[in-house]
Amino acid sequence: MQAQLAVTLAWLGRKDEATKQFARYDAAMRDRTSPAWLTHAHFYAAMGDAKRAVAAIRDTRKINAMWMTESILSRDPRFDLIRGHPEFKALLQEVARK
């Protein structure tokens, strides 16, 4: 819930608060191979950080690519803030080829 609060705060433009909330979640998350890593992708996307969001999406795809298809990524509103970034566009092309 703490991570979701951070994502919500980021969407509301309260990025300082979001960063503090997410830092607590991130510090407590020990298993970087868990499906919860998708939360990182949502957080970084809400913060407008395409580079880190794309890295988190790639990590998530290693675990479970089912929810990270080109079709889903290109339409999921949680990625709207980074959709026009070159890193995200490159990711969509990469995912579409696989």
Position 57 scores a pLDDT of 93
CB 95 within 8 A of CB 73: yes
pLDDT score of 33? 60
Quote the pLDDT of residue 21: 93
Sites in the chain below the pLDDT cut of 50: none
Provide the pLDDT for residue 30.
64
Q: Which residues contact 6 (CB under 8 A, 6 or more apart)?
A: 18, 19, 21, 22, 25, 43
Residue 94's pLDDT is: 92
pLDDT score, position 64: 78
Q: Read off the pTM.
A: 0.85
Q: Which residues contact 53 (CB under 8 A, 6 or more apart)?
A: 40, 41, 44, 45, 79, 82, 87, 88
How much is the pLDDT for 20? 94
> Which two three-digit tokens encode residue 50?
């395409």
